[in-house]
Structure formats: structure tokens, C-alpha cells
Amino acid sequence: MIEIDGSHGEGGGQIIRTSLTLSAITKKSVHIFNIRANRSNPGLQMQHLTSAKAVRSICRGTLTGAELGSRELTFEPGEIIGGRYDFNIGTAGSTSLVAQTVIPIAIMAAKPSEITIQGGTHVMKSPSYDYLDKVFVPAINTMGAKVKIKMRRSGYYPRGGGEILVEVEPSKLAGNTDWRTTDSDVSVLIRLSNLQMQIAMHEKKIFVEKNIERIRVIQEQALDPGNAILAWKGFHGAYSLGEKSKRAELVAKEALDEILTTENFDVDRHLADQLLIYTMLAEGKTSFTTTEITEHLKTNAEIASKFIDRKIEINNEKKKAIVF
């Protein structure tokens, strides 16, 4: 059984998700302790629990310690079974993070999967649905994955209530060393839920002033008010979330400033971390440069190396990662 210290490195939920995903795929049992020990709300939260139970369902495994607030988890994987699954976080916990946990597992199944996930689609400290749709899924599909996603309704803090559908076909992953795309212009998507259009107009102006004109505004209804922006170009995305008393111009400027820093790199700093599992599972070499070598990326590399014997080189100076 592989032992994982959940407080190591970045020390967050990514350790849990990566460990469970690779445990299911490699069929190596795992024991995770000190889960989120250094966080203000340590232990398993609802989105972590949902991810863990989702992994157990898809690979018919045995899960011990899967309780709210638990700081210890043991997982013994079984056989991966494709099919239809429905997971409800029950809060505004991130549907995107649950999706990213189960997609690699479903890729390894013998038959296609349709996975419905309910919860938050645009929330703090996680990729938004739009980021998955415009950046993450296109990136993994270039490596041979066959994944489609669709949002049936949006969900914001505090009640969530959003729903996404993830369709995954079994596929063989291949390494990638060329991340060039034909997408040479920045695009922007602004979402408003239960809010006035004037907010989006203030946000749109910030981008237009920088000669960014590929801007789409979507007004929708959700359980709670929400405002989310994604600016993207190729395999770079910048996500910004509106908050109460936060000026619309600031929300837009956060996304704008981040997308403008990605010009000379293959992938953004978040995608670099999210791609690591796929590079470890892919046949052949993968390499990419990224805007920042984050603690998430370093921790993910360490965790992945415990399950899969692949050589990983991370060069802080060149901001480059290579999996041989």
C-alpha cells in the first residue's frame, strides 16, 4: 500500500484527487493521512468526499474513512467500469475538480462513460466550467483523449445547483511536445447570473480598451447571483470571479492581466499541473513550458511518481517540465 502524507508540499485537495485517480488506474492501494492538515478547515470537505466516492464507484473499489472532516483515507481499487454515473456534491463544491478526478479513470475503461456532476460550476479556488471547456478539454484531447463536456445549468456560491455532463470514450494517450495552436487572438466569455447587464458592459470595456474584441456575454438564471469571466488563447486561460462589493472593472482586469502574461509559454500555470497525470499515462515523451512552476505542479509530480515509474524533469529557470 502506498503511503501519502496529505500535508506534504502544496498540502491541498489535489493530493487526494491525484492519489485516488492513479490508485484506480494502476490498481495500487493507497493510504492518505494528514489530509489538508495545515488548512483552516482541515480534513475532507464535500467536494473531496464526492471525488473519493466517485472514484470508488467507477472502479468498484473499497473506501475507508470517507466522512466529512476525516483526515485519513484508505482506498483499495477494483476494476474500472464505464457507464452512466451521477454525482451530487450537495454544495457549491467544484464540479470541475470532481470531473478532473474521474476523467483519466474513465479514459481507461473498456466502454464509454456518461458522468453527470451537480454542484458549483463557477466557484473560488478551482477551474471554472468554461476553463474546462475552452482550455483543459482541448489540451487533453490533443494527447488522444476523447472527451466532451456540456453545462446544463450554472451554479455559484453558496448553494451551487449547477450541473455538467462529461462524456468520455476509452482512448490511448500519446505524449505531446508541440502545443502550438492556430488561435492567435484572445477570446473572452463573461457570465452573469441574476445580475444587471451593466456589470458586463463595464467588464467588456476593460478588454476593448486593449483591442480585445472577441467578447461574448451570457446572461443566465441560477440559484444565486454570479459573475464569472474567462479570457483564453490556445492553451492559456485566465479565470476571474466576481464577488460582493468587488468592482466589475477589477474582475475584468484580473483576467486581462493574467492572460497577457502567458504570451511566450506553451501552457498556463494551472494547466501545467492539470496535464501531469495525462503525461504520466501517455505513451512517449511530453514537454511544455509554463508561466510558472507552481507548488501544485511540484507536489503533483511527487505524488504521481509514487504510482508510475516515469522520469520527470522540472526546470525552474526555464519554466519547463518534461516527462520521458
Catalytic residue numbers read 296
Q: In what order do the strands lie in the sheet with 146-153?
A: 84-88, 113-119, 162-169, 146-153
Q: Report helix angle 197-208 to 248-259, nearest 10.
A: 40
Which amino acid belongs to residue 103? I
Q: Which residue has the cell 478551482?
A: 126
Cα→Cα distances 289→88, 114, 178, 261, 286, Å: 36, 33, 10, 13, 11
DSSP string of 213-251, one letter each residue:
-EEEEEEE--SS-EEEEEEEETTEEEEEE--TT--HHHH
Does an H or E element contain 313, and which? Answer: strand 312-315
Does an H or E element contain 62, and which? Answer: strand 62-64
